[in-house]
Structure 1
Amino acid sequence: MQAEIVAALPKSVAGVAVPDTAAAKAAARLCAEHSPGFLYNHCLRTYAFGRLLMARQGMACDAELTFIASALHDLGLLEPFMTPTQRFEVDGADAARAFALEHGFSDAEADVVWDAIALHTSPGIAVRKQAEIAFVHIGAGADVCGLGMSLISPDDVAEVLDAWPRLQCKTQFHRLMLEVCRRKPQAQALTFTAELGRAHIHGFACPTFEQLMAAAPFDE
C-alpha cells in the first residue's frame, strides 16, 4: 500500500517539479511507511506550497534537498523516531540528517536538512536562513495555518489538494500533537505545543516561561 503511494508520485504538481532521484523517492517511502495518510500528504503539500510561495519572491532552491526535508520534517512525531526528552522538531531533524548522510549527501547538505526541520516551526528565523530552510518553514506554515495561501492561485491549490488530499488534517494533526504532549510534557517547555497541552490536557506538567523565570536562583 505505502509502496504504491510512493510509486505514484507525480512528476509535477501545479507546475512544481517533484524530484525523481533515488534519495527523494526513499525519503517519500520512509515518510509513507511510518506516517498516517494525512501526515504523509501534509509533508508533500509542504513541499508544493513552499515552492509555489517562494517562487513568487523569485527564490530558487535545491529541489532535492527541499523535497527530502519536506518529506521528513515531521518524523519526530512518529514512534520510531521519537526520543523521551527532545522536542519533535529536533527528533525529526536528527533522523533526517542521518538519512541524508546514509544516502550520500555531504555534511553541509545534511546540515541544511537538519536546520530546515529543526527550524520549521520558528517564525522570523527560518526565513533568514538558506532557501531550502525557508521553503520548508513557509510550506508547513501555509498548509497548517493557511499562511500566505491567498497568494497561490485557486487552480494551483486545487491541484495540490487533488494530488495530496487533506484527509481531515486539522482534526488528525491536533490529535497527534496532543499525544506527543501527553507522552513528554517537559519537552514542550517554551514551544508552541505547550499551548496545546495546557489548553486540552488536564494536569499538563510543563512550566511556563514566567514560572521558569520566577524559579531562577536569584533574589531579584
Structure 2
Amino acid sequence: MSDALPLRILAGATIPDTPLVAAAIDYARKYSNNPTYNNVLRSLLLGFIIADKVLPDRDREVHAVAAILHDLGFPIGHPPDSPLLSKDKRFEVDGANAAREFLKREADSAAWDKHRVQLVWDAIALHTIGSVVFEKEPECQACSFGIWADFQGPDRVAGGLLTWDEYNAVVKEYPRLGLMKDLKEQMCTLCVTKPDTTYDNTGDRYVKDYSRKGKLTQDLLETCNLDDIQPK
C-alpha cells in the first residue's frame, strides 16, 4: 500500500504527500504552539531520513501520521477546555487517543483497518519510553527515531544514520524556536494541572511543591504487596 503513495521531497526527506498526511499537518497546527509544531515536522523529516536507510518496508503513511500527531497531548497550544486533553491521562495517551479519533474521522476506513490505527496509537503512546518503543513494529520505531533525533542530535543516532548536513537542512526548514525551553514549560504545566499523570516527568525539578512521591512504579510496588494477602 505504501509503495503506491504520492511522495514529495522536503528538506532532503522523501515523505508521503497524501490528503490524510496534509490533514494531519493541519490538525497538528491547530493544537500546537510554534515550537511544538516545528518539532513534530522535524521529527517527521528526521524520522524518514533515518528509517529509509534501515526500515524501508515500513508503512510510510502510518509513520507519517504518527510523527505529525505525536504531541497532541502537550497542553500549551490548546484552547481552553480543549476536547483533546483529559484530566487523568498521561500526555502521550491523550495524544494517542486524539490521533485515533482523528483517523476515525479523516481516514478511509477501507484502507485504515484496526491494525494500522493501532500502530499509530502505539507509536504515539510509547514514544517517550525507549526501552519499549524500539522493540515494537517498524512504524513505531521509525516514528521515535525522528523524535529522539530531534532532541539528541545526529551524534547520538546510532550507526551514523543521520549526518549533520541532513540534520541542519531540516532545522533550516523548521527552526527549533527554543524547543528545550518550551519542553520544560510543557512538562511543568502537566505537573501543575494533572500531577497524578506525570510518571517519568522531569518537572519535579522546577515546580514548587510538586512531589514525585506516589507517582513512581516503585511506589505502586511498595504499597500493593499482594504476597502478604491471604487467599479468602
TM-score (norm: length of structure 2):
0.81
State the SS of the aligned residue for 1:18. Answer: strand
Q: Which residue of structure 2 aligns with residue 92 of structure 1?
A: 95
Once residues 140 and 109 of structure 1 are traced to their aligned partners in structure 2, the CA distance between those partners, rounded to angstroms, is 20
Q: Which residue of structure 2 aligns with residue 5 of structure 1?
A: none
Aligned pair partner of 2:157 in 141, 148, 163: 148
Is this contact kept in 2: 1:85–1:184, CA < 8 A?
Answer: yes
**One-letter amino acid of the structure 2 residue matched with residue 192 of structure 1:** D
Larger Rg: 2
Query: Which runs of at least 4 in structure 1 moved beyond 4 Å after TM superposition?
Result: 217-220
Greater fraction of residues in helix? 1
Aligned pair partner of 1:51 in 45, 48, 53: 48
Q: Which residue of structure 2 aligns with residue 131 of structure 1?
A: 138
TM-score (norm: length of structure 1):
0.85
More displaced 10-residue stretch of structure 1: 70-79 or 25-34? 70-79
**One-letter amino acid of the structure 1 residue matched with residue 113 of structure 2:** S
Once residues 193 and 152 of structure 2 are traced to their aligned partners in structure 1, the CA distance between those partners, rounded to angstroms, is 24
Once residues 53 and 202 of structure 1 are traced to their aligned partners in structure 2, the CA distance between those partners, rounded to angstroms, is 39
Once residues 187 and 25 of structure 1 are traced to their aligned partners in structure 2, the CA distance between those partners, rounded to angstroms, is 31
Matches within 5 A, 1:5-44: 11-44=8-41
**Aligned-residue identity in percent:** 29
Q: Which residue of structure 2 aligns with residue 163 of structure 1?
A: 173
Instruction: Supply the RMSD in Å over aligned alpha carbons.
Output: 2.1
Once residues 165 and 69 of structure 2 are traced to their aligned partners in structure 1, the CA distance between those partners, rounded to angstroms, is 27
More displaced 10-residue stretch of structure 1: 86-95 or 70-79? 70-79
Is this contact kept in 2: 1:96–1:114, CA < 8 A?
Answer: yes
Q: Which residue of structure 1 aligns with residue 220 of structure 2?
A: 212
Shift of 1:68: 0.9
Structure 1 residue runs of 5 or longer lacking an equivalent are: 1-9
Residues 1:211 and 1:115: Cα distance change in structure 2 (over 3 Å): closer
Structure 2 residue runs of 5 or longer lacking an equivalent are: 1-6
Once residues 62 and 35 of structure 2 are traced to their aligned partners in structure 1, the CA distance between those partners, rounded to angstroms, is 22
Shift of 1:166: 0.5
**One-letter amino acid of the structure 1 residue matched with residue 204 of structure 2:** R
**One-letter amino acid of the structure 1 residue matched with residue 166 of structure 2:** D
Is this contact kept in 2: 1:42–1:166, CA < 8 A?
Answer: yes
Residues 1:124 and 1:212: Cα distance change in structure 2 (over 3 Å): closer
Count, aligned residues: 207
Q: Which residue of structure 2 aligns with residue 199 of structure 1?
A: 205
Is residue 185 of structure 1 aligned with residue 195 of structure 2?
yes
